[in-house]
Chain A
C-alpha cells in the first residue's frame, strides 16, 4: 500500500494513483464546468429581470397607496406599506401630496429610481422610489451563483470522494492486498466474491485462478517428487549397474583364478606330469581347494540373489553356539596359519548350552566376519569373543582385528552389495564384497544387527548381536569350559572309513552323473541300480525293495515330480531323495510337500550325498553307533558350507580308483558332446524347444558334475536365451561350445 500512497502524492504531476480520486476529480471538474456554462446565460439577463422586479414592487406599493385617504397616510398608518418596503429591494422612498410628505432611507443618485403619480378619490400622490443599481444587483447575483457552485462542488466532491472510495477504492484495495499476499506466497487466502458487480466477478475469477494455480502447484510438486524419485532410482540403478559391472569384473577374476588352478593342475595330472605320487596329491589338493572355493563363491552369489529377492529365510532351532564356533575354528585356524597371524577365540561365560536361532546361518555369519578379519589382517591377531547378554537375550559375537582398518567414508558403503570399501582392496586381498551384505541381512533376519568400529591403519571391530532365546525351563548355562569339552565339539570327518550296507536306486537321465554317483557310493558297500527316466525308475522302485531312491527332477518321459507323485499314490513309503540343479530358490518345502523325503542340490558333494544315504541305509555292524548320530548332526549343520578337509579328499582319491572312473566319464562325455550339440541344433531348427531345453539341462548337469564349469555356464546362458526366444544368442552359445570343446 505504500507504493499507492506514494503514487497519490504525485497525482498532481503524473496522473498515477488512486482510480477513485481520478474518477472523483474528473466528475467534479465536469460538473463545475457544466454548472458555470449553464449559469452564464441566466446571469447575463439579470438587468432586465431586475427592472421587471423593481417595476412590480413599485406597482404593489401603488396599489396599497390607493386604499389610503390622505390623512390616514400621513398619520402614521402606513405600517403595512412600510413592512412591504422593508422586505423589498427599495433603498429610498419619498411620497408626497399637496399638503404633506413622507420619506425613508438614503437618497443616492447612483441608485436605480422610479417615479409615479397615484390618483385616488380623496387625494393625489407623487411617489419616488430608489432601488439598488442594476450593476450591483447583477454582481450580487453572480456572488450567489458563484458561491453556490463552489459550495456545491466542494460538498459534492467530498461526497463523491467518499462514495468512490467505498464503491471502487475499497474493493480495489482488497484486490491489491490480496494479490500482494498471493505474490508473497500466501496461496490459501480467498477474496470475498459476494459482490454482484465487476469486482465480484474479478474476485471470483481470481479465486478460481488461485485454485487452478494451487492444483497445478500440487500436481507440479507431485510430479517433482516423482521426478526426484525417478532420478534417484535412475541414479541408484546406474550406481547399481556400475557396481554390478565392477562386481562382474571382480567375479570374473575370482572365478577364473581358481579355474586356472583347477584346469591347469587337472591337465598336469591327466597327462602324468607329476613327478611322484606326493606331488600328484598336492596337485589334487589344490584342485579340490579351488573347487571348494568356487562352490563357496557360488553359494554366496545365490545367497545374495535371495537377499535381493527377499527370499532369504532362517530356520530357527535349538543349537549349541560353542559347537558352531568350534566347528568354524578349524577352518579359520587354517586360514590364519596361512597368513601367519594369531587367531584367538574366547568365551565370556556364562553362555546358554542351547540357544534358539538358525545354527547354519549363525555359522555363516561368524565365518564371513572372521574370514574378512583374517583376509584384511597381515600382522598381529584376530580375536573372536562370544558372549551372552541375558537381559536382552542376545548373543554377542565380537570380532577384532589388527588389519588395514577403514575410514568413515569407507564404512558408509561397507554393507552395500557389490562394493568393497576400496576397489583396489579386492585386487589386493581378494573377496567379492558380498559377505558383509549377506551377513548383515542374515543377522537382521535373526533379529539382530552388526555394528562396526574401525580406525584406518589400526584395525576394525565388528560386533554382531543375534537374538538368542534359551529354554528357561532347562535353564542350563555353561559356566566353565574344559579342553575336553572343546575337543569333543571339533569337526569330525563323517565319511572316512565308513562302511554301509543296503540297496539303492538312482534315477537320473544323464549317463555321466549316473556313473559318477554309482562310483561314489559303491565304495561304501551299497548296491545300486540305475534308471534313466522317471517311468523306468517308477517300475524298478515298485518291483524291488530299495532302501533309498535318489531321483533327478528334470527327466524325459516322466520327470521326477510325476514319478514321486505316482509312487506316493501307490503307497510307496520308502525314502526318496530329490536331486535338483535349481539352487536359486528354496524348494525344500515344495519338494517335501510333493512327497520327497529330502532334497540334495547339484553339484553333488560326496559328503552331503553319503550323509543323506547314511540316514536311510544300514551301517556296518563294526561302525560305532554313536558316531552315526554325531555325523548326522555335524552334517546337518555343515550342509550349507560343505567344507571338506583336504586330507579326507586326498585319502579318498588315494584309496579309491574314482579318479580313473571320473577320467573315463569325462572322455565319454567329450566324445558324446558333438552328438549333444548336434541334437540341440536340430531341435532348435525343428522348433522343438522342449527337447532343446532338455538337452541343455543335461549339458548343464553333466558338465557341472564333471567339472566343466564353463560349459555349464554356457548351457545356463543358452537355456535362458532359449526361454526368452533369443535364438541368435543361443546360436552364439552353441558356437562357443563348438569353439572351445569340439575343435
Chain B
C-alpha cells in the first residue's frame, strides 16, 4: 500500500465520518479518525508501513534517503507530520469558530481524495520543500 492509496482511503473515510457525525449528531467517529491519525503520527507506526511489512516483509516506504546524517528537523518524515495536520484540521473547527470554519474538514477530505487520485499532495510537497524528509 502506497501513501497515495492511503490518502485516497483517508479522504474517503473522512468524508463518511463527517456525514455520519452530522446525521447522528455524535463526535465519536471524528475522535476515532483523528485518534488513529495522531497515533500514526506519534508512533510512526503507519498503516501503510504495517501493511507493506505484512505484504513484502519490509518497510518499503521508509527507505527513502539516508536519515543518519541529517538534522533532527530534517529527519522527521513529512507523512508523519501530514497525519498531525489532518487530525488538527478535522478537530479544531469543531471547537474553534465552528460556524465560520466548518468547511475545513470537508476541504481536507476533498484534498485528500484528490491527492489520492492525482498522486499530487500539496501539503506533502510544502512539507518536503520546507525541509522535512
Contacts and interface: CB of A to CB of B under 8 A. Distances in A.
B120 A21 contact: yes
B46 interface: no
Contacts of B125: 12-13, 15
B118 A25 contact: yes
Contact of B25 (A28, A136, A145): A136
B118 A157 contact: yes
Contact of B103 (A9, A142, A154): A142
B115 interface: yes
A11 B119 contact: yes
Interface stretch (A37-45, A168-176, A249-257): A37-45
B18 A29 contact: no
A147 B111 contact: no
Interface in A1-35: 8-9, 11-13, 15, 17, 21-22, 24-25, 28-29, 32-33
Interface size range on A against B: 35 or more
B114 A157 contact: yes
Contacts of A485: none
B122 interface: yes
A143 B23 contact: yes
B113 A12 contact: no
Contacts of A588: none
A143 B22 contact: yes
A28 B111 CA distance: 9
Interface in B25-61: 25
A39 B103 contact: yes
Given A28-B118, A36-B106, A40-B103, A154 B113 contact: yes
Interface in A172-209: none
Contacts of B113: 150, 153-154
Contact of B111 (A29, A139, A142): A29
Contacts, number: 93
B18 A36 contact: no
Contacts of B128: 13
B115 A12 contact: yes
A9 B15 contact: no
A145 B128 CA distance: 32
Given A142-B102, A147-B15, A11 B117 contact: no
B114 A146 contact: no
Contacts of A149: 106, 110
B87 interface: no
A9 B3 CA distance: 10
The residue in B19, B103, B117, B120 that gathers the most chain A C-beta atoms within 10 A of its C-beta is: B120
Contacts of B99: 44, 138
A153 B22 contact: no
A150 B15 contact: yes
A558 B14 CA distance: 124
A242 B90 CA distance: 94
A478 interface: no
Given A150-B110, A158-B117, A12 B103 contact: no
B5 to A, nearest CB: 12
Nearest to A143: B22
Given A36-B103, A36-B107, A146-B106, A12 B3 contact: yes
B91 interface: no
B4 interface: yes
A39 B22 CA distance: 18
7 contacts: A13-B124, A13-B125, A43-B102, A142-B22, A143-B19, A146-B18, A150-B15
Given A146-B105, A161-B117, 7 more contacts: A8-B119, A11-B119, A13-B125, A17-B120, A29-B114, A43-B103, A146-B103
Interface of A: 8-9, 11-13, 15, 17, 21-22, 24-25, 28-29, 32-33, 36, 39-40, 43-44, 136, 138-140, 142-143, 145-147, 149-150, 153-154, 157-158, 161
Which 6 A-B residue pairs are closest in the complex by CB-CB distance?
Answer: A146-B106, A143-B22, A25-B118, A25-B120, A13-B128, A12-B121
